[in-house]
């Protein structure tokens, strides 16, 4: 792992959470999902746990629902930043 927990969360905040939250099309449901994700990320104990959360979040029913809602308003999703996140983690 090349990044700290804080660096990973900062990356996700800048690339996904803040732009999505500030998107004019973001409704209450999307904003709740963003807030839940933010709270969950901050509760995680390490960079490794953030990495695990990132990859597993995309595979859950809730993650797929979030992707569909967020992408429908043209906002960035976890899927959109996979490559940058992977690079930040030092994964190949």
Is-above-0.85 flag for pTM?
yes
Residues contacting residue 78 through CB under 8 Å, at least 6 positions apart: 12, 16, 54, 57, 58, 63, 67, 85
Residues contacting residue 58 through CB under 8 Å, at least 6 positions apart: 64, 67, 78, 79
pLDDT at 92 over 80: no
Domain boundaries, the chain: 5-89
pLDDT tens digit sequence for 31-61: 999 999 999 999 999 999 999 999 999 889 9
Given pLDDT bands bounded at 50, 70 and 90, which one contains residue 1?
confident
CB 66 within 8 A of CB 77: yes
CB 77 within 8 A of CB 34: no
CB 66 within 8 A of CB 33: yes
CB 26 within 8 A of CB 20: yes
């Amino acid at each position: 792992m090349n990044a700290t927990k804080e660096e990973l969360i900062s990356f996700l905040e800048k690339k996904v959470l803040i732009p999505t939250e500030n998107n004019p099309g973001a409704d209450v449901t999307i904003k709740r999902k963003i807030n839940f994700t933010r709270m969950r990320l901050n509760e995680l104990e390490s960079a490794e746990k953030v990495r695990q959360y990132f990859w597993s979040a995309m595979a859950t029913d809730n993650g797929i629902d979030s992707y569909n809602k967020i992408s429908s308003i043209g906002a960035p999703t976890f899927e959109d930043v996979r490559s940058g996140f992977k690079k930040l983690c030092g994964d190949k």
